[in-house]
Structure 1
Amino acid sequence: MTAAPSIAVGYASESGNAETLARHLTQLLHDQFQQQLPSQTLSITCLSLDDLAAQVAHADILLLISSTYGAGDIPSNGGHFLSELKAKRLQVQEKQMAVLALGDRAYDSFCQAGRDLYRLLAEQGAHVLVPLFEADTSFQPTYNQWLSRLLPRLGLAVPEKLLAFSKTYSAREPFLATLTHQHRLTSATADKDVRHYVLNISGAGIHYQAGDSIGVMPVNSRQRVEEVLAAAGLQGNEYCRRADGHDGPIAELLSRYIELTTPGQTMLQWLAEVTGAEWLQALLHPSQVQALCQFQFTADLAEVLRRVSGQVDPLQLLARQSGLLPRYYSLSASPLSHPDELHLTVATLSYSKQGATVQGTASGWLASLPLGSKVPVFLQPSPLFRLPEDPERDVIMIGPGTGIAPFRAFLHEREQLQAGGRNWLFFGERHRASHYLYQADLLRWQLRKELTRLDLAFSRDQAESVYVQHLLLQHAAEVFAWLENGACLYVCGDKTRMAADVDRALRQVLVEGGMSVADAGRYLLRLRMEKRYLRDVY
């Protein structure tokens, strides 16, 4: 037997799509080499990009599949690989490579992570097997096209049947769920309006797990649509074709497909070019990133239209404005306890813009819906935020505010599985009397011994604010003991402040347990690698 080239299949995946395709590709190559080239001994591995970084030198062919997360970022299990590649510390010269990029055309940073990988590999001397392929949310046809180009370059004939996909829903093709229940979780006098929603998905074939999220495609309010039409001097029946493929009467596009609150950077750049407006050119200068962000936060699409009235065709401007993006919510019930239902925990946003009080696009729309309304949804799996496979393992959950949502699902799941592991929840909000989310559920779980420990931080019920990170430090010895006993640790909620504060508190917990600061950092890193420190932050 002769040795075939060593192939490394790598993935960077946030929702699981890239990993699913990478594992399918690995199995396909294994099967096709056995059938078509039985005299060759195939060496093939399938790893996350971060795990692959240490093994790049041993591979002859790199086949990479990456999604894009956030503002053009690579998912967390590919960040180390990309950093090493940028620093030119990976031996990729003379290797053969192909990259499939997954993304969402509604975002300005469409497929940016995959583009970065492809560009850096090519710049550093890797040989291109096939050009970069870029797939939108309905990625299946593009994946099959990529395979049809890739397999012949590996000396393999293309099978008659490639990957047959079952029906999947996406932002472009959502399932219309039915709103069957909603109620307010905070009191009528509370300064926050947090609500519980139940959506019926019977017949959808949507199979979710505790820890997953759901994408909701909202509808812009009629008032906002009319404000934009007035600012643009349009009646609403004018035809418009957008770059994202949507076309039709502009009023319909404004209602369902165009972002009305935040002026998009791509549109602003086009506007600066065609108008030559100095204020725009200054705002878009690389040194004015903070000023641009502030403008996008405080201005809206109607204001931009008013400022350039008479200088451009408003339909051309609207054709280039960012698309209306889905909003993602952690599911707050397990399919084991509530089959054919999606439970959402949503804070109705309210803020001041242009001197007026504005509600969040999606949260305000949801709050306005009568029962029986249709809500366009699609599943956003979270394979990196799962309960431990061993039901006997303890779990520590830290979820202030609406961050409690996935932990309600976890507790439902553990209850249904009769899991033997202990459950400890840290929850925080402003006031016990008015902001205690899911109080009845938590008390029931306590009485049934499903919730072993419940520690509460109501920040404004005393002179000095108390948050969940303070509770971690108050119970440092016990938290440390649970971790040393193998507990899994979960954090959900605000990324900007809470998650960072909790991380610092955990490091202090470990230091108080006898570790040095450096050892505490390494300990948390090991927990991450073992999938025992998982975060769903936003």
Structure 2
Amino acid sequence: MQATGEQHVSNEQLQSLSGPELGRLLQAIEGLSTEQLNWASGYLAGISAGGHPARPVSTARQSAQVTILYASQTGNARSVAQRLADAAAASGIESRLLSAHEFKARRIADERLLILVVSTQGEGEVPENAESLYNYLTGRKPPDLSKLEFAVFGLGDSSYTHFCKAGVDFDQALEKLGGRRILERLDADVDFDSDFSVWLPNALQVLENRQPARQAVVLPLTPRQSVTQYNRDKPYPASLIENRRLTTDQALTDVHHLVLEIDPAAISYQAGDSLGVWFRNDPAQVDEILGLLALDGNTHVRLGDKSLSLSEALLEKRELSLLHPKVVSGWARHTDSGSLDKQLADKNELRRFAAERRFIDLIEAFPGRIEAQQLVDLLGPLQPRLYSIASSPAEYADEIHLTVSALQYEAHGRRHRGAASAYLSERLKPDDNLDVYVVDNDSFRLPDDPSTPVIMIGAGTGIAPFRSFLQQRASQENPGRNWLIFGNRHFHDDFLYQTDWIEHRRSGVLEKVSVAFSRDSEQRNYVQDRLFDEGPAVLEWLAQGAHIYVCGAIDMEKGVAESLQRIAIEYAGKTRLEAEEFYQNLRHQKRYLRDVY
């Protein structure tokens, strides 16, 4: 060691871990604090130096950079991509991590190593933030990718017909254009953590094999800097400070406004983002399941390397409200009833059967016997729920607001409640902590130019991001024109955030408000109908460069898209083909943006 504070590291000293070895190391250090990681790093470096004190040493090398792209609406793809990037860095592999929205599609031919992590949305569609890339790859003048090596990690839910279709489509497109596949495509199901843990060591080994030979390097002895990041795997404990009902007691839907307190130095968000929420299942339902299965909730079970009680596992770790076809198939092996055979024989029937039921419906209709450990192994992992953020950091830097509709419905002889929505609206109390993480939504952002006109179309709780948008616009100098089109059942019972819109109208931030309350007249009127009625004004705003934003149910958005094309035909004299092109041009120009579910 020299007096300059640097270490000369030989080629032999830079022998990196293999993919499997690195996988074991990452499992060993999972959950350690920053201080513990720093101590372990110094300790291992000390051993390497023959017992003498040493600073942390990182493996550095001349490398072939790998580009890791992620594309999803839920944040799962980003979580997987981030974990891959972290593991690559730990193995000395240089990488850059980008969302598909940030990636310049026309530069893809310059890439040499590409890993794409992509989820599937809607009816087998690619995510919004990957549309530009996919359209370029499948367009009339696609690039030559003969110098590209690639791999695709697909995310999906096998309970849907088009399982991982976006991953399949990207994988085929990249190969068709000359790209060389370095790993077989992985189609990961809802429980993607287990798939990722198997895939990661292989991916790292393949990437390591493509790195140039190591060279001796000089490592400066600088303290390790670490910034805590909160995400799906390491959520932030937000505190509930307000929970108030937005709808009247007579409303068919119980909608609540929640205010969560955050530390803006620890977790940040932008207008348009969503919040991932980890919740607890209903204790009463857990008790009923235990009773139906004659199981003791105090029995200890294992999930991974952790031991916990069966009750705790069902409350916090296992999915009870979203019934997966795999669970139905698995339960059939624990029941003597042959009546499940009909549902198992046809995949489409199995999907329909599972989609209409919860686990408690299944075990009540088809009784059986199962051991505690078998039960937690059968059930899938609890999945977080996403909610559009209803506040802007420009007005509430230390708060995040949510708009939560408490789902309730009758089915199979019992009254069901939304697993997450009931927890948030009923069981979560002021000062309780809620584990959350921000899901960036770069494909649903306000225009960079604040003077650009904006048309916002939302139904029900789809109004949430537009509350955020208008708070953001109110904070800007000389904001452009803003038009809100909102729909719900009844004016008196369901006009969400009415006082907010009145205040924005008074201040001049909100120029125009159009409403559609479907149950207040004999002829039902929805937001897509209201949009069509305003056809001439819509065309005027679009001529001024307006951007259109749509949030709500996917069927509603389809109606809005159809109304836009009808407007082009009725009020602009376009043919059906020209109207379709008019709509597609708005999408390609990023002037028609969706956040649908």
Amino acid at match of 1:66: V
Amino acid at match of 1:498: M
Counterpart of 1:40? none
Counterpart of 1:38? none
Distance 2:412 2:301 in 1: 27
Q: Which runs of 5+ in 2 are unaligned?
A: 1-62
Quote how far apart the aligned CAs of 1:502 are: 0.7
What SS does the corresponding residue of 1:178 show, helix, strand or coil? strand
Contact kept in structure 1, 2:66 and 2:115, CA below 8 Å = no
Quote how far apart the aligned CAs of 1:469 are: 1.2
Task: Determine whether 1:354 maps to 2:412.
Answer: yes
Counterpart of 1:41? none
C-alpha distance 257-204 of structure 1, shift in aligned 2 (>3 A): farther
Distance 2:225 2:173 in 1: 32
The structure 2 residue matched to 1:255, chosen from 300, 315, 322, is 315
Distance 2:462 2:73 in 1: 19
Q: Which runs of 5+ in 1 are unaligned?
A: 36-43
Amino acid at match of 1:169: Y
Counterpart of 1:296? 354
The structure 1 residue matched to 2:489, chosen from 430, 438, 448, is 430
Amino acid at match of 1:155: P
Counterpart of 1:330? 388
Counterpart of 2:38? none
C-alpha distance 124-282 of structure 1, shift in aligned 2 (>3 A): farther
Contact kept in structure 2, 1:100 and 1:143, CA below 8 Å = no
Rg bigger for which structure?
Answer: 2
The structure 2 residue matched to 1:197, chosen from 258, 275, 283, is 258
C-alpha distance 47-315 of structure 1, shift in aligned 2 (>3 A): closer
Identity over aligned residues, as a percent?
32
1:131-530 pair list within 5 angstroms? 136=193, 150=207, 153-155=210-212, 157=214, 166-202=227-263, 205-242=266-303, 247-272=307-332, 278-286=338-346, 288-289=347-348, 291-306=349-364, 309-368=367-426, 369-495=428-554, 497-511=555-569, 512-530=571-589
Q: TM-score, normalised by structure 1?
A: 0.81
Amino acid at match of 1:65: L
C-alpha distance 311-116 of structure 1, shift in aligned 2 (>3 A): farther
Quote how far apart the aligned CAs of 1:366 are: 1.2
Counterpart of 1:98? 150
Quote how far apart the aligned CAs of 1:208 are: 0.3
Q: TM-score, normalised by structure 2?
A: 0.74
Contact kept in structure 2, 1:212 and 1:382, CA below 8 Å = yes
Distance 1:63 1:349 in 2: 41
Contact kept in structure 1, 2:299 and 2:372, CA below 8 Å = no
Distance 2:306 2:581 in 1: 49
What SS does the corresponding residue of 2:595 show, helix, strand or coil? strand
Counterpart of 2:114? 63
Quote how far apart the aligned CAs of 1:183 are: 0.9
What SS does the corresponding residue of 1:399 show, helix, strand or coil? strand
Contact kept in structure 1, 2:137 and 2:173, CA below 8 Å = yes
C-alpha distance 318-13 of structure 1, shift in aligned 2 (>3 A): closer
Q: Name whichever of 190-199 and 381-390 sits farther off.
A: 190-199
Contact kept in structure 2, 1:216 and 1:328, CA below 8 Å = yes
- Give per-residue Cα distances to partners, 1:360-412, cap 9 Å, x unaligned: 11111112222111111111111100000000100000012111100000000
Quote how far apart the aligned CAs of 1:64 are: 3.1
C-alpha distance 337-119 of structure 1, shift in aligned 2 (>3 A): same
What SS does the corresponding residue of 2:240 show, helix, strand or coil? strand
Distance 1:380 1:107 in 2: 24
Contact kept in structure 1, 2:389 and 2:468, CA below 8 Å = yes
Distance 1:430 1:45 in 2: 43
C-alpha distance 259-13 of structure 1, shift in aligned 2 (>3 A): closer
Amino acid at match of 2:500: D
- Give per-residue Cα distances to partners, 1:200-255, cap 9 Å, x unaligned: 0126611100000001111111110001111121110112224x666411100100
What SS does the corresponding residue of 1:283 show, helix, strand or coil? helix
C-alpha distance 535-501 of structure 1, shift in aligned 2 (>3 A): same
RMSD, aligned α-carbons:
4.5
Quote how far apart the aligned CAs of 1:338 are: 0.5
- Give per-residue Cα distances to partners, 1:77-109, cap 9 Å, x unaligned: 44687799899x988896552326375999999
C-alpha distance 307-59 of structure 1, shift in aligned 2 (>3 A): same
C-alpha distance 247-419 of structure 1, shift in aligned 2 (>3 A): farther
Distance 1:449 1:316 in 2: 61
What SS does the corresponding residue of 1:67 show, helix, strand or coil? strand
- Give per-residue Cα distances to partners, 1:395-443, cap 9 Å, x unaligned: 0000121111000000000001134310000011111111111111100
Contact kept in structure 1, 2:77 and 2:119, CA below 8 Å = no
Amino acid at match of 1:400: A
